[in-house]
A = this chain, B = another copy of it.
């Protein structure tokens, strides 16, 4: 057990709430601040992408005994349902028994706050943190940025306040603080497939549905109530873009032409389209993540990534697992806890940022690339024959808790091998042959 401290967590999102549970377990007083109202008492924002919980997320939840409470609101997705314009294909995610789990962000967030309160954390909603004094972990709270502020001093402050973190904003103004924010030229918009009258799902319930269309795509993830939360990813500008879909008519025509099998299942298409905001996608990196033994960033506040690997929440939860490892290792030495935590996590955050960005590139430019599709087929075929010798990158990221850096490095190594294989004569004809299999085995030596 550590010496009990008075700790503030800024941000009552998924990472802030789970962190609070862990800190309570370690015996600390925990106050959670959020500028927004209690999400349990308001409607959701209409700007959510459903979450896909995978191995790293579950590990962090189970590590503090709340996994089962979350499993109760999760729907396993064992496969991708790939909606082409004229047909529907299914593709398993992993081996038998492996799945990722669909959870509504809003419902999970409510649950996590309940769990954190039950663990003894105290929440302060509608408290706006405008600044922090790093040297003495003091929060500055007030109605407006330029108005009167109240100061609250803590032993420690965690910034779990997301990609546009105020806590980081202060750290950013220190010398020697590296920082970058980079927006994608594509945005996203939430849409909805409601349940059938009897509460059942209109599409296969245990699938991650995807309509890949090159530069844009639609996905749909199942909810407990029979509905699906859909997300349309699309460039802001250009031919097929948010910019080009200005009115009801153009939206409906676009869906009829390009996403014909959604027309019957998204009844309020135009209504949702123009009511829900178009949100941006940003990759944010920074370093350092901590200030002495006083302040630490965690989750999106330290490493916001684009959502194309489904790892944003999982990576944030893994931050907490690693922080807790350091707590167990270093006891009351918070300087070492913070410094080892950031050292361990920074490289892995960079790796999953890179992998997520590459997935965006793959989806937007490579899905139509013949060589790319051929490579995927060869990898799949080889991996089926030699599962111990070729774990696909997706599985390393999703169904393992080995470091993201390792997944990235091995993925690059596998890609280099595939580059050689694709150079083989007649590879298009012989891709499934024994010759190819043997060549891969040779190259793996």
- A residues in contact (CB < 8 Å) with B: 146, 172, 175-183, 280
Q: Are A179 and B180 in contact (CB under 8 A)?
A: yes
A279 to chain B, nearest CB (A): 9
A292 to chain B, nearest CB (A): 17
A441 to chain B, nearest CB (A): 32
User: A176 touches which one: B172, B177, B183 (CB < 8 A)?
Assistant: B183
Q: Are A182 and B183 in contact (CB under 8 A)?
A: no
Q: Are B175 and A181 in contact (CB under 8 A)?
A: no
A95 to chain B, nearest CB (A): 40
Q: Are B178 and A179 in contact (CB under 8 A)?
A: no
CA distance A183 to B182 in the complex (A): 18
Q: With a CB–CB cut-off of 8 A, which chain B residues contact A178?
A: 181-183
User: A146 touches which one: B146, B175, B179, B181 (CB < 8 A)?
Assistant: B146
Q: With a CB–CB cut-off of 8 A, which chain B residues contact A180?
A: 179-182
A35 to chain B, nearest CB (A): 15
Q: Are B181 and A280 in contact (CB under 8 A)?
A: no
Q: Which residue of B lies closest to A164 (CB)?
A: B173
The 5 closest A-B pairs by CB, nearest first: A180-B180, A176-B183, A178-B182, A179-B181, A175-B280
A90 to chain B, nearest CB (A): 37
User: Can you list 17 A-B pairs, Cβ within 8 angstroms, ordered by A?
Assistant: A146-B146, A172-B181, A175-B183, A175-B280, A176-B183, A176-B280, A177-B181, A177-B183, A178-B181, A178-B182, A178-B183, A179-B179, A179-B180, A179-B181, A180-B180, A180-B181, A180-B182
A215 to chain B, nearest CB (A): 18
A161 to chain B, nearest CB (A): 15
CA distance A178 to B175 in the complex (A): 20
Q: Which residue of B lies closest to A236 (CB)?
A: B176
A433 to chain B, nearest CB (A): 36
Q: With a CB–CB cut-off of 8 A, which chain B residues contact A172?
A: 181
CA distance A177 to B284 in the complex (A): 12
Q: With a CB–CB cut-off of 8 A, which chain B residues contact A182?
A: 178, 180
Q: With a CB–CB cut-off of 8 A, which chain B residues contact A177?
A: 181, 183
CA distance A175 to B184 in the complex (A): 11
CA distance A172 to B282 in the complex (A): 13
CA distance A182 to B183 in the complex (A): 18
Q: Which residue of B lies closest to A182 (CB)?
A: B178
A163 to chain B, nearest CB (A): 11
Q: With a CB–CB cut-off of 8 A, which chain B residues contact A183?
A: 175-178
A300 to chain B, nearest CB (A): 15
CA distance A178 to B176 in the complex (A): 19
Q: Which residue of B lies closest to A149 (CB)?
A: B146
Q: A146-B146, A179-B180 are in contact. List 15 more A-B contacts (CB 8 A).
A: A172-B181, A175-B183, A175-B280, A176-B183, A176-B280, A177-B181, A177-B183, A178-B181, A178-B182, A178-B183, A179-B179, A179-B181, A180-B180, A180-B181, A180-B182
A277 to chain B, nearest CB (A): 11
A141 to chain B, nearest CB (A): 14
CA distance A182 to B177 in the complex (A): 7
CA distance A10 to B146 in the complex (A): 22
CA distance A179 to B172 in the complex (A): 12
A339 to chain B, nearest CB (A): 14
A416 to chain B, nearest CB (A): 21
A174 to chain B, nearest CB (A): 10
Q: With a CB–CB cut-off of 8 A, which chain B residues contact A175?
A: 183, 280
CA distance A172 to B183 in the complex (A): 12
Q: Which residue of B lies closest to A283 (CB)?
A: B178
CA distance A183 to B176 in the complex (A): 5
